[in-house]
Amino acid sequence: MMIPKKPLVGIIMGSSSDSKVMHNAAKILDDFGIRHEDQIVSAHRTPTRLEEYAKHAEANGFKVIIAGAGGSAHLPGMVASHTVIPVVGVPIMVYNDKSGKKSDEFKFSAFGGMDSLLSIVEMPNGSPVATVGINKAANAGLYALKMLGNEYPELRAKLKKFKQTQHNSVVMESDEMKKSGLVRFVQKKFK
């Protein structure tokens, strides 16, 4: 079965500042040739838009939604409550100060992202959200690819090749370390 040329994955985030993290999910999907649709949907500032988005995702045949949010991080769970599409939550540690001050400076969550992680991972029974680590949007992209790989053998083959490349890279670095010794390896690698 050929991979469709339409978006299969929706990537949503609660704020434009989340794009600094969430673009990593998009990059992974792009690397594998999987189309995605990206939007900002705030669970708190645009609750009706969130419900509309869930309907939109179903109507357009999305297979997975990747939802990233910081702070109280209700977006992944709320979108999951409105759809049967699997949702992968990305807890985000960094957030933008929305106080209206013109500043490019980003702040860290008061709890180092643990607030977001716990908010997403502790969904009540009946509305599960698969959750990756704090700021691990690339892992969310890979997880979405693995889910899609169950339906598209061509993608599964690409994922197997990706895993083999990772394996070969580690073995090659290990051989290099063994040959040069740890001290020289570190001096050369991290200079």
CB 141 within 8 A of CB 135: no
- In this prediction, residue 71 has a pLDDT band, given cuts at 50, 70 and 90, of confident
Considering the domain boundaries, does residue 35 fall inside one? Answer: yes
Answer yes or no: do 139 and 174 share one domain.
no
> Global pTM?
0.90
Answer yes or no: do 96 and 54 share one domain.
yes
Answer yes or no: do 30 and 53 share one domain.
yes
Answer yes or no: do 91 and 170 share one domain.
no
Strand partners of residue 66: 11, 88
Number of folded domains that form the chain: 2
pLDDT of residue 171: 97
Answer yes or no: do 130 and 70 share one domain.
yes
Q: What are phi and psi of 47, to 5 degrees?
A: -60, -35
Answer yes or no: do 32 and 106 share one domain.
yes
Chain segment 8-38, per-residue pLDDT in tens: 999 999 999 899 999 999 999 999 999 999 9
Asked if pLDDT for residue 109 goes beyond 70, the answer is: no
Chain segment 130-143, per-residue pLDDT in tens: 999 999 999 999 99
Considering the domain boundaries, does residue 113 fall inside one? Answer: yes
Taking all residues of the chain, what is their mean pLDDT, rounded to a whole number? 92
pLDDT of residue 154: 96
Continuous segment of H or E residues that includes residue 53: helix 47-59
Answer yes or no: do 61 and 44 share one domain.
yes
Percent of the chain whose predicted confidence (pLDDT) is above 70: 91
Answer yes or no: do 164 and 138 share one domain.
no
Asked if pLDDT for residue 98 goes beyond 60, the answer is: no
Containing structural domain, residue 177: 160-189
Hey, what long-range contacts does 145-152 have (CB within 8 A, 24 or more apart)? 145/28, 145/29, 145/32, 145/34, 147/63, 147/64, 147/86, 148/3, 148/8, 148/9, 148/34, 148/63, 148/64, 151/1, 151/63, 152/1, 152/2, 152/3
Answer yes or no: do 37 and 63 share one domain.
yes
Residue 64 belongs to a domain with what CATH number? 3.40.50.1970
